[in-house]
Structure 1
Amino acid sequence: MNLKKSLLIIVLVLLVDQISKVYVKTNFVLGESIDVFTWFKILFIENEGAAWGTKLSDLLPISESAGKLVLTIFRLFAIFGIGYWLWDNIKKQSPRTLVLAVSLIFAGALGNIIDSVFYGMIFDESSNQVATLFSSEPYGKLFYGKVVDMLYFPLVDTSWPDWVPSLGGKSFRFFEPVFNIADTAISTGVGILIVFNKKAFPKPEKQTEG
């Protein structure tokens, strides 16, 4: 896969990701949801931390503000690393499967970084109101934005049977996490690397002695 095709994938993912996030931010109140199907909802939440909403302040003796800054800076370093990996693979004419996967991972990571870096500067609060784009009273500042999530698939929404020890009567929901298009791109890229590992990382052919 050449550079133009890789860039096309990245741009398309970023456009869909950012358009969907801006739409949800400017049309939904935080926590609001609509049912698309019984097993698929648009549910607006904001993620201040890493995967599954984990915060560095929950793991390290630092403030939430410091943890958010460290996480955003780490993401910026990571995106440069992934970008170099992608460029190097294209330069070396690596297998199409590998370039496709890394392009998706790069696009997804960049999509979430845009939220983390800029959203705090351009949106106001979404709690109890619909946010305004390019607000004169933004909710944060550079590097302190919150990642917008909205895709929710409660494929199973029920309760544990009463006879199950310690869990009986409690709610059971699958799939619980709420995510976005950028997360989907990252997961798809990682999935391609796992499922098509041999195509992405082919072993060099052994030269036969003549």
Structure 2
Amino acid sequence: MLLTTGLVLGLSAAPAGAAEPVIVDSTKHGGRTVAFTFDDGPNPADTPRLLDVLRRHHVKAVFCLWGDFVEAHPELVRDIVAGGHSLCNHSMHHDNMGDWTPERIEADLRQTSAAIHRAAPGVPIRYFRAPYGSWGQSPRVAAKLGMTSLGWKLVIGDWEPPGTDELVRRVKEGLTEGAVVLMHDGPNDRGQTVDAVERLIPELRADGWRFDRPARG
């Protein structure tokens, strides 16, 4: 279950330099803006084409990276960074962390961030997203490590094969102002998602929407 944007977990103050232990699901500027986020990559079959679509349309997104695939495809992490996109730690093996201890969560998040930094040294990892949205104690741990926990207001179910037209419909009918939208560029065939994004960007812009980054706690 997602926590309300801005809800702080726990009463103790975060260490200096740490993020606040909140889960954000809104854009930085609010209003008629939207933030696109992509989970479970990088994926050599679809991430490069998605990056090309975003580049041609001048849209910056957040990529929530699965550590195993980061290690398998470090060049794609560098391509994401080169495109000016933001990075998100999405755990090492995509395990459900809901009942994990803080120590186990921290070890996993550190391992994932280390893999990302081996692929792209020094790049900021601004966000963490819990696999399956099963947060448990992870927001406080992520905050300790300087990452804002990234939720969503709209998830479009693109892990199933509903087709591009249906994905476009789900976004356009489900979108609310300032929404963070969760989509996927991995690990399986995400061609319909990339096709949907290519259609959605100009259609949403024509309807007065602007593309934004998620807020940070």
Shorter chain as denominator, the TM-score bin is under 0.3
Structure number with higher relative contact order (C-alpha < 8 Å, ≥ 6 residues apart): 2
- Normalising by structure 2, we get a TM-score of 0.24
| TM-score normalised per structure 1 | 0.25
Higher helix share: 1
